[in-house]
């Protein structure tokens, strides 16, 4: 059984959580720890209790290499779109830890899960995707509580990743999560630290009764 050295209080875990790129140590994650983290993800709410997510665990070095190479290409595609000053800032930012983390968790969405009549999805097709993201956030917080790091990589084409991990037709990859032990978690998010983008004050995000009030 793990003996946590940091607070497991929900608010503390939420505050400690980071999107990790550079701090993976490469030490393998114990399978029972991984299972607790996936069980937390699987405990998320879902539209019509459809639980439309799956988790493909990619340990294989060759597969992770191929994904990292693809991501590097997409990184370049994005860099090419940027004006010079932003490109320079972007150049300092590491966008993935695919090789170093030792494990990629591909989280997928299956729109067929739950049959023809998914309770709560008839008016808004995307609610199944939303459920999958709720599972991802549970996973992320559980990993943080376990003193692991998670880094969500989104510099990829969905078809490439679907093919890499053999997804059936219609099943959509939602995330590649680098998951692994870390030397530390940063206190300030990378994109703030590197001058990419500051945070927005909470008060600006809160509206009373209607957006315009």
Using CB under 8 A, pick the residue from 2, 28, 126, 170 that binds its own copies.
126
Told to check if 32 binds its own copies by CB under 8 A, we report: no
Please report whether residue 88 would count as binding its own copies according to CB under 8 A: no
Of positions 33, 66, 111, 130, contacts its own copies by CB under 8 A: 130
Q: Does 29 bind its own copies (CB under 8 A)?
A: no
199 binds its own copies (CB under 8 A): yes
The 3-state DSSP class for residue 121 equals coil
Number of residues that bind its own copies (CB under 8 A): 94
Which contiguous run of DSSP H or E holds residue 114?
Answer: none
Least Å distance between CB 170 and its own copies?
12
Show the binding pattern over residues 41-70: x = contacts its own copies (CB under 8 A), - = does not. -xxxx-xxxxx-xxxxxxxx--x-------
Asked whether position 136 contacts its own copies by CB under 8 A, the answer is: yes
> Phi, psi (5° rounding) for residue 35?
-65, -40
Tell me if 76 contacts its own copies by CB under 8 A: no
Choose, by CB under 8 A, the member of 22, 68, 129, 185 that binds its own copies: 129
Radius of gyration of the chain (CA): 18
In this structure, is the dihedral angle defined by the CA atoms of residues 11, 13, 14 and 16, taken in order, positive or negative? positive
112 near its own copies (CB under 8 A): no
Give how far Cα 36 sits from Cα of 149, 157, 173, 182, Å.
Answer: 15, 30, 22, 18
Q: Which residues, at least 6 apart from 79, have a Cβ–Cβ distance to it below 8 Å?
A: 87, 90, 91
Q: How far is the CB of 77 from its own copies (least distance, A)?
A: 7
SS (H, E, C) 48-67: HHCCCEEEEEECCHHHHHHH
Helix (H) / strand (E) element for 26: namely: none
Q: Which of residues 138-197 bind its own copies (CB under 8 A)?
A: 138, 140-142, 145, 152, 154-158, 165-168, 171, 174-175, 189, 191-192, 196-197
């Amino acid at each position: 059984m793990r003996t946590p050295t940091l607070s497991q209080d929900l608010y503390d875990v939420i505050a400690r959580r980071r999107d990790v790129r550079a701090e993976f140590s490469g030490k393998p994650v114990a399978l029972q720890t991984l299972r607790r983290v996936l069980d937390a993800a699987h405990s998320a709410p879902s539209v019509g209790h459809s639980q439309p997510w799956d988790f493909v665990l990619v340990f294989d070095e060759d597969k992770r290499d191929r994904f990292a190479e693809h991501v590097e290409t997409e990184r370049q595609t994005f860099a090419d779109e940027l004006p010079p000053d932003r490109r320079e800032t972007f150049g300092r930012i590491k966008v993935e830890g695919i090789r170093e983390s030792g494990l990629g968790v591909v989280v997928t969405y299956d729109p067929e899960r739950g049959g023809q009549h998914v309770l709560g999805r008839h008016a808004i097709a995307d609610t199944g995707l939303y459920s999958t993201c709720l599972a991802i956030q549970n996973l992320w917080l559980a990993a943080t509580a376990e003193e692991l790091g998670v880094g969500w990589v989104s510099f990829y084409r969905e078809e490439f990743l679907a093919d890499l991990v053999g997804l059936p037709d219609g099943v959509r990859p939602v995330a590649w999560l680098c998951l692994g032990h870390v030397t530390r978690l940063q206190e300030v998010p990378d994109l703030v630290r590197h001058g990419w983008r500051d945070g927005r004050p909470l008060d600006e995000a809160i509206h009373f009764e209607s957006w315009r009030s």
